[in-house]
Amino acid sequence: MVSIKRIVSMTKILKLTNRTLPDTVDESCVKLAAELLLKGQVIAVPTDTIYGIAGLAQNSEAVNRIYQIKGRDPGKPIAICLNAIEDIHTYAQVTVSDSLLSCLLPGQVTLVFNRTQTLNKNFNPDTNLIGVRIPDNNFIRSVCGACSSPLALTSANYSASQSCLDVDEFSYLHNRLAGVFDGGRLGNTEESRLGSTVVDLSEEGTYKIIRPGSAFHSVTQAMQTFNIQERTE
């Protein structure tokens, strides 16, 4: 059964059942998360790194709400989260092989490409680049699949504040969210708060690390394996 606790704001905190089993998904929570997102709401979700807040990337009002909740500079872009590697080609101009994508994803990596026209033109309107995530977390990927749409995904904290490994750490945001999906504590070290490694692959044959993050060594090793050269500018 799903445990639901209500706080003053009536925000729902939902504990994911079987959360210690990586290959299982709490279908009732997936369904509820998708219903909230499809209504244009913003929710908090676990990922394979830190907790994030998410809304439909194709819904401009939901995206604006994310920026308001975080107090984030409107000029700072947000990544999208997808369910599967084949979905990336719909929203991004992929410059690398699917073999390299499969080497990195699902995983603690954000890949940056040029966007396609399919992506909401009001989403990150000041840049042609888009960061793409496929987290190694079955819950959030299942939610993406249930929505049949990319999620706008960013860390669950006020802008420039410490990233969060437990839902209690961002309790100050709970009353501004339609639901908080509790996947338990995601890590126990400060290194766990690094978030994903962000790598720019927008120029074919080259890469540039934008943020070292939690998967730096595996990303750079994959670049060497697939003969992708580092950009130094």
Q: How far is CA 129 from CA 66, 112, 113, 215, in A?
A: 19, 6, 6, 21
* Residue 16: per-residue pLDDT: 78
Collapsing DSSP to helix, strand or coil, 81 comes out as strand
Give me the residues paired with residue 84 across strands.
none
* Residue 233: per-residue pLDDT: 74
* Six token digits for residue 58: 């194709």
Domain spans in the chain, listed from the N-terminal domain onward: 3-230
- Other Cβ atoms less than 10 A from the Cβ of 147: the count is 21
* Residue 11: per-residue pLDDT: 53
Output the tens digit of pLDDT for each of the chain's 233 residues.
Answer: 233 333 223 356 778 755 444 556 788 899 999 999 999 999 999 999 999 999 999 999 999 999 999 999 999 999 999 999 999 999 999 999 999 999 999 999 999 999 999 999 999 999 999 999 999 999 999 999 999 999 999 999 999 899 999 999 999 999 999 999 999 999 988 888 999 999 999 999 999 999 999 999 999 999 999 999 999 87
Q: Residues 37, 56: contact at Cβ < 8 Å?
A: yes
Q: Which residue has the tokens 């997808």?
A: 82
- Other Cβ atoms less than 10 A from the Cβ of 102: the count is 11
* Residue 188: per-residue pLDDT: 87
CATH code, residues 3-230: 3.90.870.10
Q: How far is CA 190 from CA 14, 28, 135, 162, 165, in A?
A: 25, 32, 20, 10, 10
Which residues touch 103 (CB under 8 Å, ≥6 apart)? 222, 225, 226
